[in-house]
Structure 1
């Protein structure tokens, strides 16, 4: 299958239009259009519907793109690996983590490694926890950070730290006057909730079931940072991972301890199929230290 056609599909799906795809590939629109037409002929099913002179991806195209994205990601990794070998970059670490972890735990550790070791390099792939589970068998990574539960025979799991959930709201919310928010305080209170498949949402639903109550969900999102930001705008109360809340803190936001305690176990994940290098262990040590410091830091007022 023509790689250039697959790259054209990726550029179109990421850019959303022929014009943006052409800019990404440094080609003309007619060139990209021909690549996509040739790919469509090669796969044997429609990739686009033509509506008002616009290309709209078909459902088959979106399904196919999931495989294309993975294949091109692996190709990109192979190309980068070759460049690193040529440049003798033997101290490279591929990191797989959730977006909020980069700010909460990873940035300082990577900065320290970069400062202390001029030969250190890293690539950081940020994905949601749900996506990490899906991608575990496909990704090439050296070190990952996620939250339990996780069941995968291809990885080794090591604990980092346990973090408690917190309640997030705008500073002038009536509940912000309390020093601790209890689950019963949230009965009939509009909530900004995580999506049903997330660990945080499952914990919240469980707390309400034990009270024989139903959460009043006003807004729902799979992204914990978005939930905290919406709660800070006064659109409801969010029960959030403590690291997520801290990493998204801004003026006007109130963060309070939440009871009964909801504990989230952060862990390292390492691929079982490859030997762990000294630089990976060194970076993991710095991340673990940062995690323990962040977990014991006092909540913002």
Structure 2
């Protein structure tokens, strides 16, 4: 397919109009219209329907866009990498991590490395724990951070730190007066809990099964940060990764130790085929130090 037509299609889908796409691409509206028409001819099905003076994308266009955006993003990264090679830029690092880890661990490490190496640059791609498993074979990255287990032959894994799960709730919850929240305390307590595919949920379900009980699930989400925020609003108690809880602090939120101890192992992972640069190694060192400090404080 014509690269310019794909660029016009992406710009239209992102901007919502031919006029906006033309501004993004520094082209005229007729030029963009011709590129979009050319793309329709190439794919052989309708990408747009006209309503009044506006073009609206069809269902087929929305399906195609997800693949086009991914392909063009990969090409953008190829161009960026070529530019970095041309400029002998060895200080750029592509980081793959979860949003809460960025807040708690990565931001401080990046700030330190930026002070040490002014030419340092980074691309940070945030994925949920579930998405990291799915995207490992697709993403271009230099260093990643996640929770075990990780089972992929394309990566090298190095231990970083461990963190204990905690109980999160509103300050008015009766359990907030406890020095420690136990599994027995939660037998009938409404829970805001992670979805079944997450590592945290699987560990919690195993604890309840061992006790011969089932969790009283009020709300369920794959995102630990959202679970903590809902718990902080008084909608139930959440059992959360300690890093997630601390990155989600809200007014009236209370965090308590959880028993029995539920420990999560955080690791760094690297593409096995890629040679690590000095910046990657230094960033890994700084992230590990930050993780160990936060873990000790908790």
**Superposition deviation, residue 67 in structure 1:** 2.9
CA distance in 2, matches of 1:24, 1:258: 51
Residue in 2 that maps onto 1:39: 39
CA change 1:19–1:45 in 2 (3 A) is closer
Q: 1: CA distance between counterparts of 2:255 and 2:154?
A: 37
Aligned to 2:218: 218
Q: How many residues align structurally?
A: 296
Tell me whether 1:55 sits opposite 2:45 in the alignment. Answer: no
SS in 2 for 1:109: helix
Q: Secondary structure at the match of 1:285?
A: helix
1:207-245: CA deviations, max 9, x gaps? 222222222222222211111111111111111111010
**What is the deviation of 1:6?**
2.8
Shift of 1:57: 4.6
Q: What residue number does 1:18 align with? A: 17
Q: Which whole-Å CA distance do the structure 1 matches of 2:29 and 2:167 have between them?
A: 49
**TM-score normalised by the chain length of structure 2:** 0.89
Q: Deviations over 1:134-184 (max 9, x none)?
A: 111111111111111111111111111111111111111111111111122
Distance 1:163 1:123 in 2: 26
Q: How far apart are 1:100 and its partner, in Å?
A: 0.8
State the distance in 2 between where 1:273 and 1:253 align. Answer: 44
Shift of 1:106: 0.4
Instruction: Determine whether 1:281 maps to 2:277.
Output: no
TM-score of the pair, normalised by structure 1: 0.88
The 5-angstrom pairing of residues 78-117 of structure 1 reads 78-117=78-117
Give the SS at the match of 1:258.
Answer: strand
Q: Which consecutive unaligned segments of at least 5 residues does structure 1 have?
A: none
CA change 1:157–1:252 in 2 (3 A) is same
Question: Within 2, Cα distance between the matches of 1:62 and 1:130?
Answer: 24
CA distance in 2, matches of 1:149, 1:281: 23
- CA 1:82/1:215 → structure 2, altered by over 3 Å: closer, same or farther? same
Map of 1:223-242 to 2, 5 A cutoff? 223-242=223-242
| CA distance in structure 2 between the partners assigned to 1:221 and 1:28 by the alignment | 45
| Contact 1:89/1:121 (8 A) holds in 2 | no
Taking a change above 3 Å as real, the CA distance of residues 32 and 185 of structure 1, as seen in their structure-2 partners, is: farther
CA–CA distance in structure 2, aligned partners of residues 284 and 241 of structure 1? 21
Cα distance in 2 between the residues matched to 1:20 and 1:168: 48
CA distance in 2, matches of 1:56, 1:175: 51
**The residue matched to 2:219 in structure 1 has which SS?**
strand
Displacement after TM superposition at 1:124 (Å): 1.0
Residues 126-137 of structure 1: pairs in structure 2 closer than 5 A: 126-137=126-137
Change (3 A) 1:41 1:258: farther
Change (3 A) 1:269 1:3: same
**Alpha-carbon contact 1:180-1:257 (below 8 Å) kept:** yes
